Structure 1
């Protein structure tokens, strides 16, 4: 390359050039950044999303009242005592003896308080065959699961003494403990297994130990730095464990991908006869630029979650955005420095049986060469078949049903406590998840307030919203009352929601609403799910619009082509639509559900469609930017559009396939988890990435671009004033192309 070729412009090229010249400084700065971020994050501590900030509306108001009043709600537990036959009643001596033994046993543990007998609280079912002993765990509700074991053992001891009855405990603490025992390590193991899986695939892709380690090392250090940054940022935007897990998932995917793109291009240029410095400069100016364009686009997509107004989504969006930005910066700064330091040593640790495969053209490129020959020979047929297939796959999404998954939908019959939950709900509809009215008044003991509370209790039952018993707990010092109302409908979310609306819209205005200055927001599990759904539905349009519009603008500025910007958006929407269709087919209609352990779910978890749209729209841009950048680069270097498409797709096929296999493998790990919501997320992400890297990028994109021809680069004159972000690909910035190898030539 001549001197002219070294004067590459653009952020990625400059960053790569500086890093290559100041190798130890670049590596040192990166290590210092990671260490500082982790140290400062650890010192600052992570602030998690508070219950009062989870949602807007009534659930937020209720949580805020309780928080401001300083009321610590304990973890409530219930023991179900139920006749196994049809003759034993709660009034029988044996049943009464069992109740007495339960009250005595749980009270004797010293871990509980406020133990109540069903004969005092009237918590006896209508058929007289079931009764509930209720009590609260001592201490902090958040850690109650760690102290509930002796209570569970005490209840199990009573069960042994009364074999004719069913005696089972359920509640916040016991449920959390059983989840933790059954699935506590499930998610963590999936997170940890993502690293060796990615490394194994990279080892096959590169055939060398050092080359395979680089992407994993970059991804892990980017994740470590982001964990520290999350602690610092959490003081402005609270974070959560869920956000941390999503960040790890996204960080591993993009961190490995970006490094893979860069490393593959540098190796390719060296294989074509370039010296190490020139190969690195070309990789910086091309793949480096593609990484920046892709990274910024993914960040914009993740920023869409900030428009939901849901604290959990905002935390996930910000955490994902940060890890993508950190991985992007690391890829264009420290990676060139490491490659410059390693030189030929990047090939160290060669795997013998992969040597022949790595030395020549790889099998994946030969496969895609054959596919592309057929696609470009018949572009119209390819478009019709590919679009038709994707629309057919997406079609089930038209009947998508979203809902909050019930316990048996989420876990099936894998947990004994799910059966207890269903038995309690059958005997006491709504008893497991009652609505809670948080009443705050100037004087909670004022006669008019007392009367309003009494009227509310009576009308809640007479209106049909509840079958009782309605429990009122006064906190006179704080002028707050907590009213627990079991909702008719129980675990049937749709029916329970109708009962909730009746409580909010009819019963409350007619009773508590008549007292001036009194607040009475209705909260609880059903209310929270209902409010979450409403807020999520309300945010769909602004989030979709923000992501699509800004992604379109970024593609327009990055490629200076109206056509490329439009086709990129349409292809991404097709990819997301196909993922939705697969989700509905498997989890809602049950087609092939047994293959992934998803029988009988019947619905898509409410938060998943919006979450998937944002994540997939961002990740899909990875491949699109990388492939189209290579096509445009070839076009700017003098190739015809048709030849540029051939060159671009064939030379990127191997790296796109490797990147996709890693993403699919990592996401598929989450598809093996026991929780259906995590399983749906894993299957949806894996299916979408697989479709995107094969049908979209390997068939539809080249076929569409082939049909469009020179119109691919169309930019109306009135848009010529837009900023030019394509300069890294200008002909003067690139060396004259090396003669294409035989495997790159396509005869069409």
Structure 2
């Protein structure tokens, strides 16, 4: 691997204009291929998980799958509702909708129990996930009815309109994120390099890597369907690793330039940076890629989409650092040499900043005490993790800045039975359809006496009579304890006591509540296996990189401490209400079911960046014959500045996602920002050096001393 990366960097440095042009051609080809081939969005079948997924598959088999439903809601602008006028508006809306090719069927106007609203249900044609694409004609007719009845409030809500509103808000949020993250990143790089040209290089390479990754992800979606989160992940991870990989490379080149005092040419300096930091970038990229790939073990289309996005953008970032970056460095170096604008500086590796020196001083004097205090502090931060409550974030958690969500609240206030549903799906021989119907009728009697169920029921049978679906209303949102209790009663008691008694009949329960319940359970089942795979990957890569079993074990422990502490802080902040005003969110009393798994995987990959760059500097000094204790201190001093600069960039990017409206993305951004802060400023500056100082020569076990060959081929830095 080292020889390949060296050859790539040398060719790029020797043919800079070809390398630069080649990179931009590659980016354009990636984007062009994605336009020609197109993406492959996930379908409803791709989301099926657990018993709920099995029931949905059975329903689809009989043509009874969930259809996209919109509802026109008519309420008074002020005071009591004129029901006659409202029903006239409802009939007008129904007639307009019924004439649209996008509409499959229109229900009769329905008065609310308290007389404050009238609604019309519109079932759209096509699959559930396709509804938002064909929404415009329906919204246009709703607006026409509103114009015809200005004395009433006429609005539309439903799954398709809420989904479209979420996408629009996400797009606005991402634009705002870019406006925050890009300038702060640029300022950070200006401080680090004191050069506009050098500061722009990491940013431009990161942005072009993101563009290439967006194109590649569209192609990859034909293998791993896109769940709609890939672009978010590419932006989240791409800006962080893209800038960081370039930053590590640039800092090493500048350090070697300062050390050489002008004795080495730009080509030689680029070769040296490639032989040290260039190879470390490859190793770090491999860690992120392999860690991200463990998400495929989740057997879930959303996590597969996340994994694909993280992998392709990391590949693009590594490729840019091996190809176009050496070429850019050569051109910038030649320009600097011609103008003699770059003055010789004192070697940055011989000194450390005030902050680093202040932190390392007590670590050097009392490593055992500093280790104990920092580990206890991290364990204290992790303690709230014991009360972790995972739920799938339901529709009711979306921001009320989405107009359809405002109508959604009014709809559910007037019609509480619409808050959630259970769907009991039964598959049997067509000749037994009457027997199944009788059992389901008995089931409705049982649920009718249970206050956790609503009064609305609906029975449908497939044309061939083999599949029967009973829909039961729930007057509670799907993520509430009452709704989950109703699901438990339905699955454990009511279905077994009725349909379950029929021999040779297959039954399963799905619906809003089942989806919200089964998904977190699925993640909990997969989490131990994925964490085990992550630990194995971290251990194996560290042992492979540094030829040390001890450092492999140290890497596992440090990553667990970092992830545990950041998750604990996440629980402390988001499961309570005390930080709602500070971070602009409404607490659900839970953490999104996808957040812990995403955090573990991405953090383990990103932590390897710091692990590689810090320990590689230490090992580099050790291979040069420096005693381990001094090598630890020298390695920390030489790498601390670039690690903290990289951490500032990452924290800026991740924290900007914490400002988004969507609660799950907000939680992910917040937790990653906290994790990187802890990892860079506590784990790498206190815990790691203290532990390595205490371990001494045992750090390198089973290798007793650096061999001559190792010293010659040391390939990390």
Under TM normalisation by the shorter chain, which class is it? 0.7 to 0.9
The answer (yes or no) to whether the contact 1:9–1:727 under 8 Å persists in 2 is no
The structure-2 alpha-carbon separation of the partners of 1:160 and 1:590, relative to structure 1 and needing over 3 Å to count, comes to same
- Measure the CA separation in 2 of the matches of 1:481 and 1:189: 48
Larger deviation, residues 376-385 vs 553-562: 376-385
Q: Equivalent residues in 2 for 1:646-657 (5 A)?
A: 646-657=633-644
- Measure the CA separation in 2 of the matches of 1:348 and 1:446: 87
Say if 2:107 is the partner of 1:116. Answer: yes
- Measure the CA separation in 2 of the matches of 1:716 and 1:654: 29
The structure-2 alpha-carbon separation of the partners of 1:204 and 1:107, relative to structure 1 and needing over 3 Å to count, comes to farther
CA-CA distance at 1:299 after TM superposition = 1.5
2:363 counterpart SS class: helix
The structure-2 alpha-carbon separation of the partners of 1:480 and 1:702, relative to structure 1 and needing over 3 Å to count, comes to same
Question: After superposition, what is the alpha-carbon deviation per residue over 1:335-370, rounded to whole angstroms, capped at 9, x for unaligned?
Answer: 2233234324369999x9xx9999896997233123
CA-CA distance at 1:290 after TM superposition = 1.5
Give ranges in structure 1 of 5+ residues lacking alignment: 1-7, 721-725, 738-748
Q: Which residue of 1 aligns with 2:354?
A: 366
Say if 2:27 is the partner of 1:34. Answer: yes
Q: Which residue of 2 aligns with 1:496?
A: 483
CA-CA distance at 1:693 after TM superposition = 1.2
- Measure the CA separation in 2 of the matches of 1:181 and 1:38: 22
- Measure the CA separation in 1 of the matches of 2:332 and 2:442: 79
Q: Which residue of 1 aligns with 2:510?
A: 523
The alignment yields a C-alpha RMSD, in angstroms, of 3.7
Q: Which residue of 1 aligns with 2:435?
A: 448
Q: Which residue of 1 aligns with 2:562?
A: 575
Say if 2:685 is the partner of 1:694. Answer: no
Q: Which residue of 1 aligns with 2:711?
A: 731
Q: Which residue of 1 aligns with 2:290?
A: 300
Say if 2:13 is the partner of 1:20. Answer: yes
CA-CA distance at 1:497 after TM superposition = 2.0
The structure-2 alpha-carbon separation of the partners of 1:81 and 1:16, relative to structure 1 and needing over 3 Å to count, comes to closer
- Measure the CA separation in 2 of the matches of 1:595 and 1:571: 30
CA-CA distance at 1:656 after TM superposition = 1.1
The answer (yes or no) to whether the contact 2:280–2:612 under 8 Å persists in 1 is yes
The structure-2 alpha-carbon separation of the partners of 1:10 and 1:593, relative to structure 1 and needing over 3 Å to count, comes to farther
Query: Of residues 194, 211, 233 in structure 2, which corresponds to 1:246?
Result: 233
CA-CA distance at 1:186 after TM superposition = 2.0
Q: Equivalent residues in 2 for 1:696-715 (5 A)?
A: 696-715=683-702
The structure-2 alpha-carbon separation of the partners of 1:400 and 1:514, relative to structure 1 and needing over 3 Å to count, comes to closer
- Measure the CA separation in 1 of the matches of 2:338 and 2:211: 26
2:86 counterpart SS class: helix
- Measure the CA separation in 2 of the matches of 1:475 and 1:222: 50
CA-CA distance at 1:521 after TM superposition = 3.7
CA-CA distance at 1:619 after TM superposition = 0.7
Say if 2:386 is the partner of 1:398. Answer: yes
Say if 2:194 is the partner of 1:207. Answer: yes
1:484 counterpart SS class: strand
Q: Which residue of 1 aligns with 2:300?
A: 310
Larger deviation, residues 274-283 vs 139-148: 139-148
Say if 2:618 is the partner of 1:631. Answer: yes
Question: After superposition, what is the alpha-carbon deviation per residue over 1:434-493, rounded to whole angstroms, capped at 9, x for unaligned?
Answer: 223445555499543544454444444345563221123445268655533212533553
CA-CA distance at 1:685 after TM superposition = 0.9
Q: Equivalent residues in 2 for 1:674-685 (5 A)?
A: 674-685=661-672
- Measure the CA separation in 2 of the matches of 1:346 and 1:224: 29
The answer (yes or no) to whether the contact 2:59–2:469 under 8 Å persists in 1 is no
The structure-2 alpha-carbon separation of the partners of 1:235 and 1:600, relative to structure 1 and needing over 3 Å to count, comes to closer
The answer (yes or no) to whether the contact 1:13–1:728 under 8 Å persists in 2 is no
The structure-2 alpha-carbon separation of the partners of 1:321 and 1:181, relative to structure 1 and needing over 3 Å to count, comes to closer
Aligned length: 706
CA-CA distance at 1:421 after TM superposition = 3.6
CA-CA distance at 1:206 after TM superposition = 1.4
Q: Equivalent residues in 2 for 1:65-144 (5 A)?
A: 65=58, 67=60, 74-80=67-73, 94-108=82-96, 110-111=99-100, 114-117=105-108, 124-125=112-113, 132-137=119-124, 141-144=131-134
Question: After superposition, what is the alpha-carbon deviation per residue over 1:502-539, rounded to whole angstroms, capped at 9, x for unaligned?
Answer: 33344334444566665544322222121211110100
CA-CA distance at 1:322 after TM superposition = 2.5
2:302 counterpart SS class: helix
1:385 counterpart SS class: helix
Q: Which residue of 1 aligns with 2:645?
A: 658
Question: After superposition, what is the alpha-carbon deviation per residue over 1:375-407, rounded to whole angstroms, capped at 9, x for unaligned?
Answer: 212222322232232222222222222223345
CA-CA distance at 1:302 after TM superposition = 0.7
CA-CA distance at 1:332 after TM superposition = 2.6
Say if 2:552 is the partner of 1:561. Answer: no
Larger deviation, residues 476-485 vs 321-330: 476-485
CA-CA distance at 1:284 after TM superposition = 1.5
